[in-house]
Structure 1
Amino acid sequence: MKKQLLMNVMMAVMVVGLLTMVACSKPQVADPGNVYQGQSEETDAERAARLEAERAARLEADRIKAQQLDDQRQAQIAEAESRFLNQNILFDYDSAELSDQAKDLLREKAAWLQANPSETVMIEGHCDERGTTVYNLALGERRANAAQNYLVDLGVSAHRLGTVSYGEEKPLDPASTEAAYRINRRAQFIFR
């Protein structure tokens, strides 16, 4: 009987040990790569379709990025062109001599012209309203020629540059003030 009791106790200890081992073991987790348990792996056709869709998405993202870069480049070109056209060379009263500031601006214009070899420009010479019409036409011509000659000295082809004088005929500001006179004494650039 003692033998029987010992066997039952040992059997009970083993059962309790087995149950403890099962209860304390880590739970089995499904393979995260295989979300759909019980279904077969991706077929070759499905894989090919998935890869083609990914490739198409990458191509579209690349196309959008290239378009954005092109738009940005076009905006920079338009801004540089606008600066070229809208920055006038200003002159002192009764003078066709280029100031240091005018020379700096002409160097920028020369760099732009060299970067855009297909562009040709007309340099307009302008004056304020003081002086005779004939005198102002001659002064406007000297101003346009001074700008042209400086650009040619910087390496811009003379064939790409033309000059014309408008004298006092086309003021930017028609007022009879010193501020108006200052901006009207100019060499102005337009595309031809």
Structure 2
Amino acid sequence: MRSVTPLLAVLRAAALVVLVVAVAACSRNGAGGTGVGNLGPGGGAPGSQQEFLVSVGDRVFFETDSSNLTPTAIATLDKQAAWLNQYRNYRILIEGHADERGTREYNIALGARRGSIVVNYLVSKGVDQRRITTKSFGKERPVAICNDISCWSQNRRAVTVVQ
């Protein structure tokens, strides 16, 4: 049991450091102000990249071998379009991704189709196409790695990166 005690002490110290850093990060806003009274409903300043990420959502998911938008994806893209039409000073990058199954070439093409369908939807909702670029990563940048549907479903996505 003595060998467990130093490990617990290290884990507790690490947890304390993480907590202190998290509290410090939450106390600041993007403009270097006090962070009091200027936060949006999602925790970021209105019009900030953080607000987009937390309040709107930066990714939509796809079914296996599909680039069709699901009702959930459409709801997220509607929120993205509204935000982007309100805050027109941002450019965005749409990243298309696929799960690990299939060849590299197939997944690059699938990621490109997913990116294109997202761009087309946002443009149909009034977002200026000149503000949007796309890139397909195929299966090269997974967010979850395992040989199971729980990971594959997280990797079949398009991510909107606010720049």
Q: TM-score, normalised by structure 1?
A: 0.60
Residue 180 (1) aligns with residue 147 (2):
no
Q: Give the alignment of 1:73-152 within 5 angstroms.
A: 73=40, 75-77=44-46, 78=48, 79-83=50-54, 86-152=57-123
Q: What is the CA-CA distance between 1:135 and the residue it aligns to?
A: 0.4
Q: 1:110 to 1:169 in 2, by over 3 A?
A: same
CA contact (8 A) 2:97 2:156 kept: yes
Contact 1:84 1:109 in 2 (8 A): no
| Contact kept? 2:57, 2:80, Cα under 8 Å | no
Sort the Cα spacing of 1:72 and 1:133 in 2 relative to 1 into closer, same or farther, 3 A. closer
Offset from partner CA, 1:16-75 (integer Å, 9 cap, x none): xxxxxxxxxxxxxxxxxxxxxxxxxxxxxxxxxxxxxxxxxxxxxxxxxxx844x33583
**Which residue does the alignment assign to 1:72?**
39
On the 8 A contact 2:85/2:127 being kept in 1, the answer is: yes
Does the 8 Å contact 2:97/2:158 carry over to 1?
yes
Q: Summarize the Cα distance change of 1:116–1:125 in structure 2 as closer, same or farther, 3 Å threshold.
A: same
Q: Normalising by structure 2, what TM-score? A: 0.71
Paired AA for residue 104 in structure 2: T
> What is residue 157 of structure 1 aligned with on the other side?
128
- The structure with more radius of gyration: 1
Unaligned runs of 5+ residues in structure 2 are: 1-34
- SS at 1:162 equivalent: strand
String of CA shifts for 1:108-142, please: whole Å, max 9, x gaps. 00011011100010000000000110000000000
Structure number having the greater helix percentage = 1
Deviation readout 1:72-130 (Å, 9 max, x if unpaired): 35834245222268531100000000011111100000011011100010000000000
SS in 2 for 1:72: coil
Taking the aligned partners of 2:59 and 2:147, their CA distance within structure 1 comes to 20
- SS of alignment partner, residue 75 of structure 1: coil
User: What is the root-mean-square deviation in Å for CA atoms of aligned residues?
Assistant: 2.0
Q: Unpaired runs of 5+ in structure 1?
A: 1-66
Equivalent residue pairs, number? 125
